[in-house]
């Protein structure tokens, strides 16, 4: 039986990470998205025409290249490290 090593330390963070993932994807102009009530960047990007609203798929990343998906992951990591450093150095 296969076992997943991708276990979150804080399971409650899933929604916050998903929101961050789709915000970054919208900033990069990638046609993916979910309709989160807190995810204004994706809605804003579709309103501006950066992402055509007809091309947004519901939680599907299969049409995104590995390079673009990696850019999203790298940006998430960069922002999380930046936030952690801000918290550590303001103590």
Q: Flag whether 82 is in a domain.
A: yes
Rg (Cα) of the chain, in Å, rounded?
15
Averaged pLDDT, 12-27:
88
CA angle 85–87–90, rounded 5-degree value: 100
Compare 1 and 40 and report the one with higher pLDDT.
1
Q: Flag whether 79 is in a domain.
A: yes
pLDDT at 52: 54
pLDDT at 9: 83
Q: Flag whether 3 is in a domain.
A: no
Instruction: Give the three-class secondary structure for 58.
Output: strand
Question: What pairs with residue 58 in β-bridges?
Answer: 33
Q: Flag whether 1 is in a domain.
A: no
Q: Flag whether 33 is in a domain.
A: yes
pLDDT band at 18 (very low <50, low <70, confident <90, very high): confident
pLDDT band at 1 (very low <50, low <70, confident <90, very high): low
Residues of the chain above pLDDT 90, percent: 26
What's the structural domain count of the chain? 1
pLDDT of 58 strictly over 80: no
Residue pair 71/62 in contact (Cβ under 8 Å)? The answer is no
Q: Flag whether 4 is in a domain.
A: no
Residue 65: give the domain boundaries.
Answer: 12-89
């Amino acid at each position: 039986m296969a076992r997943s090593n991708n276990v979150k330390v804080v399971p409650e963070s899933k929604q916050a990470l998903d929101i961050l993932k789709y915000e970054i994807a919208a900033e990069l102009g990638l046609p993916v998205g979910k309709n989160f009530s807190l995810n204004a960047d994706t809605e804003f990007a579709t309103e501006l025409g950066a992402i055509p609203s007809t091309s947004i798929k519901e939680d599907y990343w299969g049409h995104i290249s590995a390079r673009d998906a990696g850019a999203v992951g790298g940006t998430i990591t960069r922002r999380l490290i930046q936030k952690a450093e801000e918290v550590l150095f303001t103590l």
